[in-house]
Amino acid sequence: SSDTGIASVTSSGKVTSKKPGKCTIYAYVGNSRLSCTVTVTKKKATVSSGSTQLIAHRGAYYQAPENTIPSFQLAARQGYKAIECDVRETKDGALVISHDASLLRSCGIDALISNLTLKQIRQYRIISGNGIGKYPNLKIPTLEEYLKVCNQYKCTPVIEIKSPMSEKGIKKLYNTISGSVK
């Protein structure tokens, strides 16, 4: 922070407002220094830099299991303008949202997504993650379901391809994204 009397920043990146005023918050990524202007009014900080945008990584993973529809919806409702997800291709060419190559951590099943069909994956429920007790019967979402949430809330989709895709998978990814942009 350029003025810790207005807003301070912890080593983990948490910004705490102290008193009304303006200051610059700096973030360091590799050799690059990023900054944004913060205006504190009545002890509430707001970002005023037009080029700064926060991205919800795997949705609001701190409140709902990561990469799930509830996680994406919560992030959108909290005001994130962009939501990131991880995409993988199934055995039958479907595109699903999962950070991990295996269903072990999320569903308790030691099986690779790339070796399963979408129908097989849909048989399993997500059993772990933050707030899982509030979200029974969660399934691994498809890319189409994720994009539907982004369109509904007018959020920018940020899609990370987690593993190599077949040529068919790449075409499907392109066509799905192209068809969903409104």
Q: What pTM was estimated for this model as a whole?
A: 0.72
Total residues found in the chain within this entry:
182
How many Å apart are CA 4 and CA 53, to the nearest integer?
Answer: 22
Instruction: Please identify which of the residues 99, 105, 122, 148 carries the catalytic annotation.
Output: 99
**Residues 80-104 pLDDT 10s:** 889 999 999 999 999 999 999 999 9
47 is an active site residue = no
Residue 8's nearest CA partner among 43, 56, 55 is: 43
Q: Which of 7, 17, 57, 60 is catalytic?
A: 57
Q: Residue 31 — left, alpha, or beta (φ > 0 → left; ψ -120 to 50 → alpha)?
A: alpha
Per-residue pLDDT tens for 8-60?
887 766 777 788 888 888 776 555 566 677 777 664 545 555 556 778 899 99
Q: How far apart are CA 148 and CA 146, in angstroms?
A: 5
For residues 12 and 27, what is the distance between their CA atoms, to the nearest angstrom?
A: 11
- Phi and psi at residue 178, to the nearest 5°: -60, -40
pLDDT digits (tens, 9 = 90+) for 120-132: 999 999 999 999 9
28 noted as active-site residue: no
For residues 154 and 76, give the distance between their C-alpha atoms in angstroms, rounded to a whole number.
Answer: 8
Mean of the pLDDT values across residues 144-171? 93
Helix orientation angle between 143-153 and 167-180, rounded to the nearest 10 degrees = 20
- Helices (DSSP H) in the chain: which residue ranges? 69-77, 104-107, 118-121, 143-153, 167-180
Q: What is the pLDDT of residues 49-69, one digit of tens each?
A: 555 677 889 999 999 999 999
